[in-house]
Amino acid sequence: MLRRHVSPSEDDGGRGREEKALPEWPGSSPPAIETLTSLFGLSAFERSLLLLCAAVDLDSEVAKLCSKAQGGSGVQYPTFGLALAALPQAHWSALAPASPLRRFMLIDVQSSHSVPLTASPLHVEERVLHYLTGVSYFETQLNGLVRPVGDYGDLVDSHQRVVQRVTLLWKAAQGKLPVAQLWGVDDTSKVSVAKEACAQVGLGLWQLPAELIPQRADEMERFVRLWTREAALLGAGLYISAEDADAATQRSVRRLLEGIPGPTILGTREPWGELGSSPISVEVKKPGKMEQKALWKVYLAGANTASGLSEQDLSKLVGQFDLNEHSMRLAAEEALLATKEGGNLYDALCEASRAVTRPKLGELAQQIPPRATMEDLVLPEREKRLLRELALHVAQRHTVYTEWGFDSKISQGLGITALFAGSSGTGKTMAAEALARELRLDLFRIDLATTVSKYIGETEKNLRKIFDAAEDGGAILFFDEADALFGKRSEVKDSHDRYANIEVGYLLQRMESYRGLAILATNMKRALDPAFVRRLRFIVDFPFPDEKSRVEIWRHIFPTNTPTKGLDVQRLARLSLTGGNIKNIALYASFLAAGEGVPVGMEHLKRAAQVEYDKMEKPLTQAEFG
What integer is the mean pLDDT of 510-531? 79
Check pLDDT > 60 for residue 499: no
**% of the chain surpassing 70 pLDDT:** 85
Tell me the pLDDT tens digit for each residue of 312-336.
888 888 888 889 999 999 999 999 8
Q: Which pLDDT value is given to residue 21?
A: 42
The per-residue b/e assignment along 31-41, b for 16 or more CB within 10 angstroms, e otherwise, is: ebbeebbebbe
Tell me the pLDDT tens digit for each residue of 549-580.
999 999 989 998 999 999 999 999 989 899 99
Confidence of residue 486 (pLDDT cuts 50, 70, 90): low
Q: Which pLDDT value is given to residue 193?
A: 95
What integer is the mean pLDDT of 68-94? 81
- Torsion from C-alpha of 547, 552, 557, 558, nearest 10 degrees: 120
Q: Which pLDDT value is given to residue 66?
A: 80
Among 60-74, 255-269, 434-448, 486-500, the range scoring the smallest mean pLDDT is 486-500
Backbone angles phi, psi at 90, to 5 degrees: -70, 145
Give the CA distances from residue 567 to residues 335, 513, 563, in Å, rounded to whole numbers and listed in that order. 47, 50, 11
What integer is the mean pLDDT of 149-161? 88
**pTM, full prediction:** 0.78
Q: Which pLDDT value is given to residue 147?
A: 94
**% of the chain surpassing 90 pLDDT:** 35
Assess whether the region 374-541 and the region 547-625 belong to the same CATH fold: no
Q: What angle do CA 58, 59, 64 make, to 5 degrees?
A: 135
Q: Which pLDDT value is given to residue 366?
A: 86
DSSP 134: T
Mean pLDDT of the chain, nearest integer: 83
What integer is the mean pLDDT of 384-402? 87
Q: Which residues contact 517 (CB under 8 A, 6 or more apart)?
A: 390, 394, 416, 417, 418, 435, 439, 441, 474, 476, 477
Q: What is the 3-state secondary structure (H, E, C) of 431-476?
A: HHHHHHHHHCCCEEEECHHHHCCCCCCHHHHHHHHHHHHHHCCCCE
Host H or E run for residue 148: strand 147-148
Q: Which pLDDT value is given to residue 13?
A: 42
> Where is mean pLDDT largest: 8-22, 151-165, 527-541?
151-165
Confidence of residue 359 (pLDDT cuts 50, 70, 90): low
CATH topology of domain 374-541: Rossmann fold (3.40.50)
Q: Which pLDDT value is given to residue 14?
A: 39
> Where is mean pLDDT largest: 111-115, 527-531, 578-582?
578-582
Confidence of residue 475 (pLDDT cuts 50, 70, 90): confident
Answer for the pair 143, 174: CB distance below 8 angstroms, yes or no: no
Mapping DSSP to helix (H, G, I), strand (E, B) and coil, where does residue 186 land?
Answer: coil
Q: First and final CA of the chain: distance in angstroms? A: 114
Q: Which pLDDT value is given to residue 411?
A: 63
More confident residue, 450 or 390: 390
What integer is the mean pLDDT of 477-488? 72
More confident residue, 498 or 201: 201
Confidence of residue 160 (pLDDT cuts 50, 70, 90): very high
Confidence of residue 231 (pLDDT cuts 50, 70, 90): very high
Check pLDDT > 60 for residue 304: no
More confident residue, 527 or 207: 207
Check pLDDT > 50 for residue 144: yes
More confident residue, 527 or 210: 210
Instruction: Determine the angle formed by the axes of helices 44-58 and 60-69, rounding to 10 degrees.
Output: 120
Among 179-193, 294-308, 555-569, the range scoring the smallest mean pLDDT is 294-308
Confidence of residue 626 (pLDDT cuts 50, 70, 90): low
Confidence of residue 452 (pLDDT cuts 50, 70, 90): low
Query: How far from chain centre, in Å, is Cα 13?
Result: 74
Q: Which pLDDT value is given to residue 80?
A: 86
Mapping DSSP to helix (H, G, I), strand (E, B) and coil, where does residue 616 land?
Answer: helix
Q: What angle do CA 515, 520, 529 make, to 5 degrees?
A: 105
Q: Where are the domains of the chain?
A: 2-132, 147-283, 289-361, 374-541, 547-625
Among 61-75, 220-234, 577-591, the range scoring the smallest mean pLDDT is 61-75
Across-strand partners of 203?
Answer: none
Answer for the pair 466, 386: CB distance below 8 angstroms, yes or no: no
Check pLDDT > 80 for residue 75: no
Give the CA distances from residue 327 to residues 71, 116, 286, 290, in Å, rounded to whole numbers and listed in that order. 68, 60, 11, 16
DSSP 245: -
Q: Which pLDDT value is given to residue 149?
A: 92
Answer for the pair 50, 101: CB distance below 8 angstroms, yes or no: yes
Tell me the pLDDT tens digit for each residue of 414-446.
778 888 988 888 999 999 999 999 988 889 998
Check pLDDT > 50 for residue 395: yes
CA gap 78, 118 in Å, rounded = 10
Tell me the pLDDT tens digit for each residue of 539-549.
999 999 998 99
What integer is the mean pLDDT of 56-85? 79
CATH for 147-283 is 3.40.50.300
DSSP 193-232: HHHHHHHHTT-EEEEEEGGGS--SHHHHHHHHHHHHHHHH
Matching CATH number, 547-625, of 3.40.50.150, 1.10.8.60, 2.130.10.10, 3.40.50.1000: 1.10.8.60
Answer for the pair 409, 511: CB distance below 8 angstroms, yes or no: no
Q: Which pLDDT value is given to residue 213?
A: 94
Expressed in percent and rounded to 5, the helix, strand and coil fractions of the chain are 50, 10, 35
Give the CA distances from residue 310 to residues 17, 287, 344, 391, in Å, rounded to whole numbers and listed in that order. 86, 21, 12, 22
Q: Which pLDDT value is given to residue 454?
A: 60
Check pLDDT > 90 for residue 587: yes
Confidence of residue 27 (pLDDT cuts 50, 70, 90): very low
